[in-house]
Structure 1
């Protein structure tokens, strides 16, 4: 697992664990494949925002591959 708050660590097609907006309080992780990287800056303290292939959007908490 790797840092999800640095944009350079995240690649299109990578398997990641994200926290969806609705799950921010619970911290529930949703796994999927990165389709788009939405955060423009090189880093973000709460995690880089991505869109998964299934359309869900959240901030990366873990990089699995």
Structure 2
């Protein structure tokens, strides 16, 4: 079963508890994605062309490339 992913450029689409895929600063060149649950939204603007910056529950910080699922 394929899960439809949503872009992480709009702040309104990201909620605390959402499952997302982020790219961390040191992985920007490779584009390696890290999956996790949003603990905190760090970007204040409504939109960001490279993705909204978030803090995951694991402590990792990065820009959201894809939203896998909204808050439970």
Distance 2:7 2:47 in 1: 10
Task: Give the counterpart of 1:42 among 46, 49, 56.
Answer: 46
TM-score normalised over the length of structure 1: 0.99
Structure 2 equivalent of residue 26 of structure 1: 30
Structure 1 gaps, min length 5: none
CA RMSD of aligned residues (A): 0.3
| TM-superposition CA deviations, 1:1-47 (whole Å, max 9, x none) | 10200000000000000000000000000000000000000000000
SS at match of 2:12: helix
User: Segments of 4+ in structure 1 off by > 4 A?
Assistant: none
Structure 2 gaps, min length 5: none
State the structure with more CA Rg. Answer: 2
